[in-house]
Amino acid sequence: MKNLTLVIPAKHEEYSLPKVLEEIKNIKCKKLIVLSKSDTATIRSIKNYKCRIIKQKYNGYGNALIEGINNVKTDYLCIFNADGSFDPKYLNIMLNKSMLNKSFVFASRYTKAGGSADDSLLTLIGNKIFTLIGKIFFKLNISDILFTYIMGQTTKFKRLKLSNSDFRICVEIPIKIKINNFKYQSIGSFERKRLGGKKKVNEFIDGYLILLELIMNYLNPYEKS
């Protein structure tokens, strides 16, 4: 997997990230951690691991992905969480599919062989509703719009010209993939529980922002980039 970079956004993940890096240490790909310079605990926690650290100029999950993607030099990249919820066993199959079809590959919790140990009833219902809105508003043929375990060619990720610095980027990515007529497919994936530390997503505030993003884009769609 020499042609792959994992873009790993991290915020206060000093408990989980070292364990994640331990689990993936034998995977021969580049690991790019994107965090805030004030997050000294996380920086200290991974000092024994081979990875590149980028300190964000701005804040937020979306901004971490944007700054990470802009710094990738390999042909392929995959968004990968620092909390242990993404199982790395899917990386190989996702990369092979992406290379074979030159397509984006979405990992999905809600298709065959998928599942989640992390969903609450609220997040399950929310995820299903947002995925349905994605289907109705944008004809998005994906079964899990918010998982954001996504593999693809770096050039195409860069062409999306992503702009949201918060969790709205989770829906911006698939919408822009669709608008640009890029190929995409899904594979089933099981979401594990986060290893430790605190959840950063607020179901109500971030859920509201994501809903707003879907509606705004339906009324005034992004331009093809």
What does the binding site for Mg ion look like in residue numbers (CB under 5 A)? 83, 85, 194
Q: Does 78 bind ligand GTP (CB under 6 A)?
A: no
Least gap, CB of 107 to Mg ion (angstroms): 13
Do residues 105 and 97 lie in contact, with contact meaning Cβ atoms separated by under 8 Å?
Answer: yes
59 three-class SS = coil
Does 14 interact with ligand GTP (rule: CB under 6 A)?
A: no
Bridge partner residues of 178 (DSSP): none
CA atoms of 88 and 189, how far apart (whole Å): 10
The smaller minimum CB distance to ligand GTP, of residues 61 and 106, is found at 61
Please select the residue that binds ligand GTP; options are 5, 14, 76, 85, rule is CB under 6 A.
Answer: 85
Kindly tell me which residue out of 82, 94, 145, 175 binds ligand GTP, with binding defined by CB under 6 A.
Answer: 82
Taking the alpha carbons at both ends of the chain, their separation in whole angstroms is 29
With contacts defined by CB under 6 A, name the span among 81-89, 151-159, 171-179, 217-225 that binds ligand GTP. 81-89
Extract the tokens encoding 93.
Answer: 């199959």
- Tokens 């802009």 correspond to what residue? 70
Give me the residue label for tokens 């199959």.
93
Closest-by-Cβ residue to ligand GTP is 199
In whole angstroms, how close is the CB of 137 to Mg ion at the nearest point? 25
